[in-house]
Chains A and B, each alone.
Chain A
Amino acid sequence: MALGGYANRIAHVDLTAGTVEYRGIPEDWARKYVGARGLGVRYMLENGPQVDPLSPDNLLCFMNGPLTGTEANMSGRMAIVTKSPLTGTVTDSHHGGWSAARLRWAGFDGVLVKGKASSPVYLFIQDGKVEIRDASEVWGKGVHDTVRFFRERYGEKDLSVIAIGQAGENLVRFACWVNEDDRASGRGGTGCVGGSKLLKAIVIKAPKKMPKAANLEAWKPAHKRALATIMDERNITSPRKGGLSVYGTNVLMNITSAMGALPTKNSMLTSFGPSAEKISGEYVKEHILVDDPTCHACPVACKKEVEIKEGPWKGLRMESLEYEPAWSLGANCGNDDVNTVAKLIDLCNDYGMDAIETGHPISIYMEATERGYTNGDGGLVWGDSMGMVELVRKIAFREGIGNVMADGADATARHFGHPELAMTVKGQGVPAYDPRGLKGMGVAYATSNRGACHLRAYTPAAELGVTPLGALKVDPLAWKGKGELTKLFQDLHAFSDSLDLCKFSAFAEGAEEYAAQYAAMVGVECTIEDVLKIGERIYNLERYYNNLAGFREGSDYLPARFLKEPSTMPGSQGHVCELDEMLAEYYAARGWVNGVVPESKLRELGIIE
């Protein structure tokens, strides 16, 4: 391959045959889809969109981008790409930490896993080689014990472990891969696919070996400029100064609640009122924060390590009391006990379950209890945090009502005879932004190619005015323009997810910084227009995959609650989400026909010949 920057080495693992082959990346694919998310989806398309997600034929891709593990800021990201057993769409879910960089330092752009092992295995990756090894000693263990086991076996130095827990083994449909104890590739059930293949862990041993840019002369100023934007004290990324750096992602809890955009009690309400403060980033910093660990090449340090100082979870230390899981297992369930929120998130990480998704079947159960819908299946009242702890365990082990919940929010709501209780899009639960108070999120959820998701198009960056230096600010309660805004963010994020840079880079950097770094690293010409065109191609590729997988006209929707039940809380009172109007605007901008990519668009973007 003529492009620089890449290792140009992908491991193709067949667990059924017990073989590993090494191949380069087709140059045309690298140019069109870059890496990580985009390239992973291209491999998924090649594998066939009709595949059963839990069959051996499904492909599970661990993908880096050309900036992963380099000197580029916030480049410690890996995309896990597969067909989701939760949504039936193609999905990609990213994690931070160090494993992505170590995979690159071990000599790989990606590892593609197909087939099913005859007994539990893990992949051991070192010095350009992948070995399939016996995992029987760790099968049945949680993520934390699995990580500890491999640290003892291989030594902690230069080691990364990405593992599934019992939830993945038990085929919980929203099971996930967790990296280094606390960094989850949370969404979409990628860990369930791992469990279906009897693949327990990816263990990488690799000392630091930063790839060099193809164009070193261009790289230096590109890197310097990107770093300057992150360090700018006016941006939230600014180390020890910006809100994201000081408080982590949970700095959002109070503002979304205050503006009536925090889905509360299964989205019956749009604010958690005074209780939001009790689970907020500000409260955490004041009471239980003990450290600010970071990921590879990141000066922001948004990870916030906490230690519980009292009560039944005294002594617990964990790193992921983030906004999204704190919302899902907190406000979403009427739970304002921050210590138990931390415990619940830690349990999700240990069992290997998406902490965003886990709150959904639980809050459905709580609403069903309140409305008298549980039909002899017991009940759980809002805020019963100890009951939640037990229920999370039951989900992971598929015990009792947990066996129903393990199939996701839609299955849970159907079980109680009230599918309208599921706050999902394409089977995946909505995250922590209520589209009645942040309307861009409505069209972003509906049109996300992996089911409800805030990270396909992070419209709050504009609706809260935190695009670089407040360059773009729009009214969170206005719908007009949000369809076009969503397309813009989707395309931009599709490109950065393929580099693979942390999404939070977009709070400082823009398409210009992305273009300069990509061009220098790979050794090509790249403009702002190229960035958006490549992002558009990747977004259309995903949509094409989903169309072929059966998601046709009318597949983009929102739960009726957001459309028909006006917000009753200050900030967004009286508002619903005007989805139809935004969808019309969005489809016009995309050139799609009611959610389906026309052949002409696929040809225009070079997706088909």
Chain B
Amino acid sequence: MQVNFYATLRPIVGSRTVEFDLGENITVKQLVDVVVTRFPRLREELLNADGNLYPHVHVFVNGRDAPYLPNGVETLIQPGDTIDIFPAVAGG
């Protein structure tokens, strides 16, 4: 599965998109665990001390921030889903 990274996360993973070899029936939370395992420097960027996503971090599944999906971070990722991970961003 491809995961897209943005802004200050890109220099950490080294590219715009990273391919992850995932099994079936993986949840968003499990995906994040895989991501921070492969890129340990991302752990402090994405997760608080309790291991939960910071409120300013966004993990989009098809453009929708995972915590707002009906099953939240327990949502099962489907084949073909677009996954985007953003750090805190704003401007205007």
Q: What is the minimal beta-carbon distance from B27 to any residue of chain A, in angstroms?
A: 20
**B 69-92 contacts with A by CB, 8 A:** 82, 84, 86-92
- Let me know if B91 and A246 touch, CB within 8 A: no
Q: When chains A and B are docked, how far (Å) is the Cα of A259 from the Cα of B10? A: 19
Q: Are A248 and B91 in contact (CB under 8 A)?
A: yes
- Cβ contact within 8 Å between B60 and A259: yes
Taking A258-B60, A475-B68 as contacts, is the C-beta distance between A470 and B89 under 8 angstroms?
no
Q: Are B88 and A465 touching (Cβ within 8 A)?
A: yes
Q: Are A470 and B92 in contact (CB under 8 A)?
A: no
Q: Is the interface of B mostly helix, strand, loop or mixed?
A: loop
Which of A235, A247, A323, A473 makes the CB contact (< 8 A) with B55?
A: A473
A-side binding surface: helix, strand, loop or mixed? loop
Which of A302, A455, A507, A572 touches B63 (beta carbons < 8 Å)?
A572
* A465 lies within 8 A of B86 (CB): no
Residue contact A255 to B91, C-beta cutoff 8 Å: no
Among A442-488, those with CB < 8 Å from B are 454-455, 458, 460-461, 464-466, 469-470, 473, 475-477
- B62 A571 Cβ-Cβ under 8 A: yes
Chain B residue, CB-CB nearest to A280? B6
CB distance from A439 to the nearest CB of B (A): 13
Q: Is the CB of A243 within 8 A of B92?
A: no
Cα distance, A575 to B89, chains bound together (Å): 23
Contact yes or no, B90 A460, CB < 8 A: yes
Shortest Cβ distance from A458 into B: residue: B92
Most buried by B among A236, A458, A507, A572: A236
Complex Cα–Cα for A475 and B69 (A): 10
Chain A residues whose C-beta falls within 8 Å of the C-beta of B68 in the assembled complex: 475, 477
Asked whether A570 and B7 contact (CB < 8 A) given A460-B92, A464-B56, the answer is no
Question: Are B55's CB and A281's CB within 8 A?
Answer: no
B37: min CB distance to chain A, Å: 22
The listed residue (A464, A475, A476) touching B89 by CB distance below 8 A is A464
Bound form: Cα–Cα A455–B91 in Å: 10
Chain B residues closer than 8 Å to A460, beta-carbon distance: 90, 92
Q: Number of A residues whose C-beta is below 8 Å from B? A: 50
**Residues on the A chain within 8 Å of B63, using CB:** 258-260, 271, 569-573
Write the B1-42 contact mask toward A (1 if CB under 8 angstroms, else 0): 000001110100000100000000000000000000000000
Interface: A254 (CB within 8 A): yes
Do A466 and B90 have beta carbons less than 8 Å apart? yes
Does A497 make an interface contact (CB < 8 A)? no
Q: Given contacts A277-B16, A282-B10, A475-B68, are A251 and B58 in contact (CB under 8 A)? A: no
Cβ of A242 under 8 Å from chain B: yes
The answer, among B64, B82, B84, B89, for a CB contact under 8 Å with A466, is B89
Evaluate contact between B92 and A454: CB separation under 8 angstroms.
Answer: yes
Knowing A241-B8, A282-B6, A282-B10 are in contact, say whether A252-B91 is a contact too (CB < 8 A): yes
Q: Assess the A251–B16 pair: CB atoms within 8 A.
A: no
A255-B86 contact given A277-B16, A569-B63, A570-B63, CB 8 Å threshold = yes
Assess whether A503 is interfacial by the CB under 8 Å rule.
yes
> CB within 8 A of B92: which of A281, A323, A473?
A323
Give complex CA distance A475, B91 in Å.
18
Question: Known: A243-B8, A246-B7. Contact between A302 and B91, CB under 8 A?
Answer: yes
Sorted nearest first, the 10 A-B pairs with minimum C-beta distance are: A571-B63, A249-B91, A470-B55, A570-B63, A470-B56, A466-B90, A473-B55, A465-B56, A243-B89, A465-B55
A contact residues vs B (CB 8 Å cutoff): 234-236, 241-244, 246-252, 254-255, 258-260, 271, 277, 281-282, 302, 322-324, 431, 454-455, 458, 460-461, 464-466, 469-470, 473, 475-477, 503-504, 507, 569-573
